[in-house]
Amino acid sequence: MTHSVERQDTAIQNQVLATCLLAGRIMIEGGSEMYRVEDTMRRIAVNAGEPQTLVFTTPTGIFASIENQPYIQERPISKRSIDMEKVTRVNQLSRSFAADQIDLDELHAALIKLDQNTPFFPIWLQVVSAAVVSMTLMVLFAQQYDWIDMPLAAAVGALGFLVDIKVNAVTNIRFISELLGALVVGLTAWLGVRLGL
């Protein structure tokens, strides 16, 4: 009977750690700050009845264990981007769990669903958004509304973002795609200035 209870406790602890690590991985991959990730993971553990959970996060991996237990779980972080919608959704699920609106199994299932179903905007809308952001950043850096340079800034930003997307689809190495996108932005802006545009 004692072994059965211990196995059940271990299974629950494993489920708590797995849920914490999944929430943490989604948040880190979505661009959340490390202290927020650790805070959310600890809150999930405390609300699941494991207040002695130890959490350690890095940009490339997360670790969690329960104090005085002989095992630790870790998850690698394979990609990073900016997806505040996912981060916000993890926080909402964590709050629902804390308010006893969902149980641990439902939280884990909802996190798996969130992780697998990432809504993306169409590429054309992302490119248009990059153009708009580039215009607003030009106004911010120039500290004036230069109506002549705004279309060039929009075109340069959109082109650089499009190169980044296309190269990333081919190489899947983020550094190379960002480097080439930045190179296109710099060269296109320089060319526009040289041509008097």
Separation of alpha carbons 139 and 133, rounded Å = 10
**Rounded to whole angstroms, how far apart are CA atoms 178 and 143?**
26
Average pLDDT value for residue range 149-158: 85
Question: How many of the other CB atoms lie within 10 Å of CB of 24?
Answer: 28
The pLDDT of residue 5 is above 60: no
- 22 plus 97 within the same structural domain: yes
146 vs 170: which has the higher pLDDT: 170
The enclosing H or E element of 20 equals: helix 2-29
- State pTM to two decimals: 0.69
**Domain assignment of residue 133, given as a range:** 123-194
Q: Would you say 164 and 173 are in contact if contact means Cβ atoms under 8 Å apart?
A: no
Q: Are residues 33 and 7 in the same domain?
A: yes
Q: Percent of the chain, pLDDT > 70?
A: 94
- When divided into structural domains, the chain yields a total of 2
Could you tell me if 169 and 112 lie in one domain? no
Same domain, 78 and 140: no
